[in-house]
Amino acid sequence: MVRIFVCVKQAVDVSQLKVDSATRRVITLDAPKKISDFDKNALEEAIRVKEKLGGEVFSVTVGPEDAKTTLREALAMGADKAFLISDPIFENSDTLATSYILAEAIKKIGPFDLILCGEASIDSFSAQVGPRLADRLGIPLITYARKLDLEGDAVTAERSLEDCSQTMRAKTPALITVTKEINEPRIPSLMAIMKASKKEIVLWKAADANIASEKVGESGSAVQVLDILAPKMERKKIVIKGETPTESAEKLAKALVQEGVIGR
């Protein structure tokens, strides 16, 4: 029986962010949240493996208590059980601290064949937690998988790098991060959503998973955020007007030559 853990993040829905135009500060506090897109691909892949080989899929998240909504969605997609590792002392944890929390929780949950993660989260897109987690657990890692096959104790995955595509193999237990090309995540049926409300979400505080308080939160983090600002958009906004399309086009062509962006 195959056992797969999927790490999911409750991420900020980046398409619904607002900016305070006076200060350029991005308002993240009440921004709507959702499962990070690539984590859904990871979940879908885990569920497909389970449907083929039998077994169970656990989804694990570190986040505030309202991340339960995210986990319900994972359960509706087909995860069997979910773990929410949540403690006020986790606030402002960076990837160093978050990967520590996940590693300790996973050690406590028990043995597994695979851990699947999205290649990165849609909000911070740092692609750090998956690789850090693999290293903490001392298991093989294959990043950016766009195809995956589990057979016995060997996992084979295809991935694209900048200059080539590779087929990689590793012995389980292993951690794989997946890209959006790997599959099309299912949309849960009403029936699946109803069934999910009966599935278990295990809630652990730091102490429940032997998590040391000095290694989490701001004091356990190596990186600190100074500012989150909307990028400046300083553009010239010169409107080119001509009597005819030809005249407009000629004026534009001249302007572009003057900018030095065309020709040699």
Q: Which of residues 63-102 bind another protein (CB under 8 A)?
A: 94-96, 99
What tokens were used for 118? 């999205």
User: Among residues 191 and 225, whose Cβ is nearest to another protein?
Assistant: 225
Q: Identify the residue whose tokens are 């701001």.
A: 218
| Smallest separation, CB 146 to another protein (Å) | 12
Q: Identify the residue whose tokens are 């160093």.
A: 96
**Mask for 188-227, x = binds another protein (CB under 8 A):** ---------------------------------xxxxxxx
Taking the CA atoms of 185, 190, 195 and 197 in sequence, report the sign of the dihedral they define.
positive
How many chain residues bind another protein (CB under 8 A)? 75
Taking the CA atoms of 127, 13, 63 and 159 in sequence, report the sign of the dihedral they define.
negative
User: Among residues 88 and 242, whose Cβ is nearest to another protein?
Assistant: 242
- Which residues within the stretch 122-141 sit at the binding site for another protein (CB under 8 A)? 122-128, 131-132, 134-136, 139-141
Query: Applying CB under 8 A, does 187 fall inside the site for another protein?
Result: no
Cα–Cα distance for residue pair 70/17, rounded to 1 Å? 18
Stretch that binds another protein, among 44-52, 54-62, 110-118, 119-127 (CB under 8 A): 119-127
Stretch that binds another protein, among 71-79, 81-89, 184-192, 244-252 (CB under 8 A): 244-252
User: Among residues 1 and 243, whose Cβ is nearest to another protein?
Assistant: 243
- Which residues within the stretch 8-47 sit at the binding site for another protein (CB under 8 A)? 12, 14-15, 17, 19, 26, 28
Stretch that binds another protein, among 182-190, 194-202, 204-212, 232-240 (CB under 8 A): 232-240
SS3 state at 145: strand
| Smallest separation, CB 222 to another protein (Å) | 3
**Contacts made by residues 222-228, CB under 8 angstroms, sequence distance 24+:** 222/94, 222/96, 223/94, 223/95, 223/96, 224/94, 225/92, 227/25, 228/25, 228/26, 228/28
DSSP bridge pairs for 174: 114
Cα–Cα distance for residue pair 13/228, rounded to 1 Å? 16
User: Among residues 112 and 144, whose Cβ is nearest to another protein?
Assistant: 144
| Smallest separation, CB 230 to another protein (Å) | 6
Cα–Cα distance for residue pair 216/76, rounded to 1 Å? 30
Query: Applying CB under 8 A, does 252 fall inside the site for another protein?
Result: yes
| Smallest separation, CB 24 to another protein (Å) | 9
Q: Are 174 and 141 in contact (CB under 8 A)?
A: yes
Q: What does the buried/exposed string (b/e) look like for 155-191 if buried means 16 or more CB atoms within 10 Å of the residue's CB?
A: bebbbeeeeeeeebebebbbbbbbbeebbebeebeee
Query: Applying CB under 8 A, does 107 fall inside the site for another protein?
Result: no
- Which residues within the stretch 162-181 sit at the binding site for another protein (CB under 8 A)? 162-170
Among 36, 70, 143, 183, binds another protein (CB under 8 A): 143
